């Protein structure tokens, strides 16, 4: 899992939108403020609008603003809106097709790491992070070694392969 430059830039822009509280923000102003190339900022604007996170209004007095309540969207949803589903390894992608997956001793490890990361990013909202009012945490099941087969997707396997 790698947070792309595009996601990093999108998060910078979204921080500005959270702070601007329903005011329109021009893409050019946002790009200059957070040091993002304008053409890249336009691409990010398009992605965020397509994901339903922001709305864009055209014209002289146009711009962008949040379409969702930042207290209602998790950081995982934001990351996935920009760069697609979380994926720590090819075998954990939604359309994975590895012939060794069922017998691979590492697949449960990657699946577990992905579940842990998803839990961590789901535990805080965009508003939590921007305001610094809440900090990420993970579900307690990740501290219970006995729970590993269930969240790593290997509950039907022999204990030795998990």
pLDDT tens for each residue of 41-65: 999 999 999 999 999 988 777 889 9
Q: Which residues contact 133 (CB under 8 A, 6 or more apart)?
A: 127
At 151 the pLDDT is: 87
Task: Report the alpha-carbon distance of residue 38 to residue 143 in Å, rounded.
Answer: 44
At 158 the pLDDT is: 55
Q: Compute φ and ψ for 47, nearest 5 degrees.
A: -60, -45
DSSP assignment, residue 50?
A: H
Q: Which one, of 18, 27, 4, lies nearest residue 71 by Cα?
A: 18
At 155 the pLDDT is: 63
Output b/e per residue, 86-105; b: 16+ Cβ within 10 A.
bbbbebbeeeeeeeebeeee
At 71 the pLDDT is: 96
Torsion sign across C-alpha atoms 107, 108, 109, 115: positive
Q: What is the pLDDT of residues 77-131, one digit of tens each?
A: 999 999 999 988 888 888 877 778 778 888 888 989 999 999 999 999 999 999 9
What domains does the chain contain, in order, with CATH numbers? Answer: 5-66 (1.10.10.10), 86-161 (no CATH)
CB atoms within 10 A of CB 8: 12
Please give the residue that has the higher pLDDT: either 156 or 104: 104
Task: Report the alpha-carbon distance of residue 113 to residue 67 in Å, rounded.
Answer: 31
């Amino acid at each position: 899992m790698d947070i792309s430059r595009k996601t990093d830039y999108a998060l910078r822009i979204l921080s500005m939108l959270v702070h601007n509280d329903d005011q329109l923000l021009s893409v050019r102003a946002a790009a200059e403020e957070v040091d993002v190339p304008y053409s890249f900022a336009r691409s990010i604007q398009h992605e965020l609008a397509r994901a339903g996170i922001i709305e864009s209004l055209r014209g002289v007095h146009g711009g962008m603003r949040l379409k969702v309540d930042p207290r209602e969207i998790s950081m995982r949803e934001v990351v996935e809106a920009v760069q697609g589903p979380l994926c720590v390894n090819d075998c954990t992608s939604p359309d994975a097709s590895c012939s060794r997956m069922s017998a691979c001793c590492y697949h449960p490890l990657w699946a577990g790491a992905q579940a842990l990361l998803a839990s961590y990013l789901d535990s805080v909202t965009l508003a939590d992070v921007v305001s610094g009012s809440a900090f990420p945490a993970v579900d307690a099941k990740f501290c219970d070694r006995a729970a590993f087969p269930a969240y790593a997707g290997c509950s039907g396997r022999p204990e030795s392969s998990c």
